[in-house]
């Protein structure tokens, strides 16, 4: 009888333990569902205030929320122009060429470009990648369709500061990187990226300004089709984007949130570059503001933010200004969390600290704050 009672007591303890575990699992699942609903609520509030676009939020286990918010269509497969986020693809192309031993980030640009002026002879590829070349950010080759002419225009501009002296954001620097990709690879910039980045990662919804895609991807409308008509004919004409060097390297890429999710997974898993190249790409080089205790640095095509001496966030935003209205933001974390927001309605026009800020930045910050408040559920 004692043996029976002892066995019954053990069985009862096991049942209680299993029930407790089940309740804990259910509670965790319920908390995650509430987190998703909270994120979804913030997105819906954004829609009420004028946001249109697509949103994707994920952790290391997969996608938590993927949503399209537009009054003219309902598809997360819609593509948006991602502006300066394009720079990370250019940086990746440079590193792939380095892996093939066709160049080095230490190389001076004079190794590849003709007639480099004396004040720019010391500029290296590394300087271009980290925005420390001293080149300005005047978008001076927008609409220029000849490579040599674009090169000469960029190199004829006055430097903002001495080479390597400090961080100074420069679209022209990345335009030059695209030109170097073409000269070194012997291919058109867009073709090289397609073969070496987009196709291997199956980014079928991503393409380039001025090139017709063979897929059926739909690109979100421009903010004002009438204002688009005021663009120079070498940029946009007869409802078509025209290929030009202002939209190579620094900008000029469209994509979907699904494709960017594929891209970030490929980066995280070293599927496009070797681990050595990835480490080189994400090393904090030039100070945008602050320091490596609390501040933001630039790597190769990415901003890297530090807090309390640790990397808090890796991010990049982008915008095609004016009549285009497209903007995008990626926020990426080493624990696998990520936030992707694309929009085509320009800036937030409400009151408060976010007035005049691109919608992708506003909404991604609000989502980040929710994630940080529920960080234990995003591990």
Lookup: tokens for 46: 């954004």
Helix (H, G, I), strand (E, B) or coil at 374: coil
Residue with tokens 């393409």: 207
- pTM for this model (two decimals): 0.90
pLDDT tens track for 334-379: 888 999 999 999 999 988 999 999 999 999 999 999 998 887 545 5
CATH number, domain 50-377, options 2.60.40.2240, 2.60.40.10, 3.40.50.410, 3.40.710.10: 3.40.710.10
Residue 76: per-residue pLDDT: 79
Residue 26: per-residue pLDDT: 53
pLDDT tens track for 195-224: 999 999 999 999 999 987 666 789 999 999
Residue 8: per-residue pLDDT: 45
Mark the ranges of the chain whose per-residue pLDDT is less than 70.
1-28, 71-74, 213-215, 376-379
> Which residues are 317's β-sheet partners?
329
Kindly list the domain boundaries of the chain, sorted by start residue.
Answer: 50-377
Residue 29: per-residue pLDDT: 78
- H-helix or E-strand spanning residue 7: helix 2-48
Residue 202: per-residue pLDDT: 96
Residue 284: per-residue pLDDT: 94
Residue 63: per-residue pLDDT: 96
Residue 376: per-residue pLDDT: 57
CA-based R_g, the chain, Å: 24
- Distance CA(255)–CA(316), nearest Å, equals 14
Count CB atoms within 10 A of the CB of residue 138.
14
- Distance CA(82)–CA(316), nearest Å, equals 10
Residue 215: per-residue pLDDT: 66
Torsion sign (Cα): 302, 306, 309, 312: negative
Contacts of 209 (CB under 8 A, 6+ apart): 81, 241, 242, 243, 244, 247, 251, 252, 253, 254
Residue 11: per-residue pLDDT: 44
- Distance CA(363)–CA(375), nearest Å, equals 18
């Amino acid at each position: 009888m004692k043996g029976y009672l002892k066995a019954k007591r053990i069985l009862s303890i096991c049942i209680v333990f299993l029930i407790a575990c089940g309740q804990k699992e259910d509670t965790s699942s319920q908390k995650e569902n509430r987190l998703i609903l909270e994120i979804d609520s913030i997105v819906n509030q954004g829609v009420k205030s004028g946001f249109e676009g697509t949103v994707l939020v994920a952790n290391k286990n997969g996608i938590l929320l993927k949503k399209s918010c537009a009054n003219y269509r309902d598809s997360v497969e819609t593509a948006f122009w991602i502006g300066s986020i394009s720079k990370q693809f250019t940086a990746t192309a440079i590193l792939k060429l380095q892996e093939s031993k066709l160049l080095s980030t230490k190389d001076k640009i004079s190794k590849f470009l003709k007639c480099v002026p004396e004040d720019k002879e010391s500029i290296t590829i590394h300087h271009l990648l980290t925005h420390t070349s001293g080149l300005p950010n005047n978008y001076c080759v927008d609409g220029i369709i000849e490579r040599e002419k674009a090169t000469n225009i960029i190199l004829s501009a006055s430097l903002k500061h001495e080479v390597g002296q400090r961080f100074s954001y420069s679209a022209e620097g990345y335009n030059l990187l695209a030109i170097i990709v073409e000269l070194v690879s012997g291919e058109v910039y867009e073709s090289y990226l397609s073969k070496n980045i987009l196709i291997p990662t199956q980014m079928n919804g991503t393409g380039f300004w001025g090139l017709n895609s063979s897929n059926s991807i739909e690109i979100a409308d421009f903010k004002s089709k009438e204002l688009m008509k005021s663009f120079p004919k070498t940029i946009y004409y007869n409802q078509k984007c025209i290929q030009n060097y202002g939209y190579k390297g620094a900008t000029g890429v469209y994509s979907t949130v699904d494709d960017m999710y594929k891209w970030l997974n490929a980066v995280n898993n070293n599927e496009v570059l070797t681990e050595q190249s990835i480490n080189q790409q994400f090393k904090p080089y030039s100070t945008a503001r602050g320091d490596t205790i609390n501040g933001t640095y630039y790597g190769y095509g990415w901003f890297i933010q530090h807090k309390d001496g640790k990397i808090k966030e890796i991010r990049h935003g982008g915008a095609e200004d004016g009549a285009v209205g497209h903007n995008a933001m990626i926020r990426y974390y080493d624990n696998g969390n990520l936030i992707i927001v694309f929009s085509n309605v320009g800036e937030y026009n409400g009151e408060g600290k976010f007035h005049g800020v691109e919608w992708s930045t506003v909404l991604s910050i609000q989502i980040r704050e929710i994630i940080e408040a529920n960080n234990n559920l995003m591990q």
